[in-house]
Amino acid sequence: MTQAATTPALHRTAGRLSDGREIFWYDAEPGRVAGVDERGLPEVHTVSEIRYDELLDEWVAIASHRQTRTFQPSGGADQCPLCPSIPGRQTEVPTPDYETVVFENRFPSFSGGVGRCEVVCFTDDHAGRFGGLPPERVRLVVDALADRTAELGLLPGVEQVFPFENRGAEIGVTLAHPHGQIYGYPFVTPRTRQQLESARRYRARTRGDLYADVLDRERTAGTRVVAESAHWTAFVPVAARWPVEVHLYPHRGAKDLPELTAAERTDLAEIWLDVLARLELFHGRPLPYIAAWHQAPVRQDRDLARLHLELFSILRSPDKIKYLAGSESGMGVFVNDTTPEDVAARLRDLGA
């Protein structure tokens, strides 16, 4: 067990679960002692591989062991594997409380030394939600994600680090406890490759930075801007694919979360919560969403990339889901039933 302060506001305590997986506690103050996992779990055996699709020039993960992963325990918090451990009930977190904790996924999409998958528990409150956390806790989460991004980027074979949150049963979340995940991909993902190629062509044509110019155009136009702060702007993209979609860009061209300054991280916590609060009001009910952090690849084309968050929901009305039907699933062409300008105006009004 080791403990080290990674930033002035972040203290990391490392430990091991009984099957050998790593676990990290992140706290605002020092003094955490790593718990001992007494479950006696057998060594993790996974069956996963990545296969290449020659037609699309994409990699696909095959992970059949995930069919047996835990899915929506009927007992709620009493059976939740992400809650703290208590006498008589041991969980994935062998301490009676925690602030933020990260551990290797027992049912990873990647395994066998190819890539890495981690679970991020935002709070020990089973009934809580990320958008309900205080700003200082969100700042702690940001610091933890930055720390994990830096650490995973040092692992052999990891080419891209992707932190994300799936929220809501409609999204397919298997556990209700407030949590996210981090994937250390053994390749650069198709979405990122496509964005980087667009940025490369734009630079060759204009000598400009595509991400910076997109942000400048949105801030100048203002019609799709949802919220602004000292260091960040949230806007609905001009070609939004989803019924509710907001992108959050830093004003400075940081490549990934570790590159953010202390001021940018603190400001991010505030505006992230602001945007989530607006989204919660949009349909008058808890909003299922995906929060996806786009970061520069670990080794290639970092000069072309820019850190940003893409938040989107599949809910097109309080009781209707946007399904990816023929055009979207078959051809990859989205058809959006809302206009970005109307969505942005509504979100601005909800923050007034």
Enzyme catalytic residues: 179
Tell me how far apart the alpha carbons of residues 249 and 237 are, in angstroms, rounded to a whole number: 11
Tell me how far apart the alpha carbons of residues 240 and 225 are, in angstroms, rounded to a whole number: 13
Amino acid making up residue 112? G
- In the numeric block, the tokens 């989530």 are attached to 276
Q: What is the 3-state secondary structure (H, E, C) of the chain?
A: CEEEEEECCEEEEEEECCCCCEEEEEECCCCCCCCCCCCCCCCCCCCEEEEEECCCCEEEEEEHHHHHCCCCCCCHHHHCCCCECECCECCCECCCCCCEEEEECCCCCCCCCCCEEEEEECCCCCCCCHHHCCHHHHHHHHHHHHHHHHHHCCCCCCCEEEEEEEECHHHCCCCCCCEEEEEEECCCCHHHHHHHHHHHHHHHHHCCCHHHHHHHHHHHHCCCEEEECCCEEEECCCCCCCCEEEEEEECCCCCCHHHCCHHHHHHHHHHHHHHHHHHHHHCCCCCCEEEEEECCCCCCCHHHCCCEEEEEECEEECCEECCCCHHHHHHCCCCCCCCHHHHHHHHHHHCC
Tell me how far apart the alpha carbons of residues 79 and 274 are, in angstroms, rounded to a whole number: 32
Using only C-alpha atoms, the chain has a radius of gyration, in whole angstroms, of 20
Amino acid making up residue 338? T
Tell me how far apart the alpha carbons of residues 7 and 132 are, in angstroms, rounded to a whole number: 24
- In the numeric block, the tokens 């451990």 are attached to 85
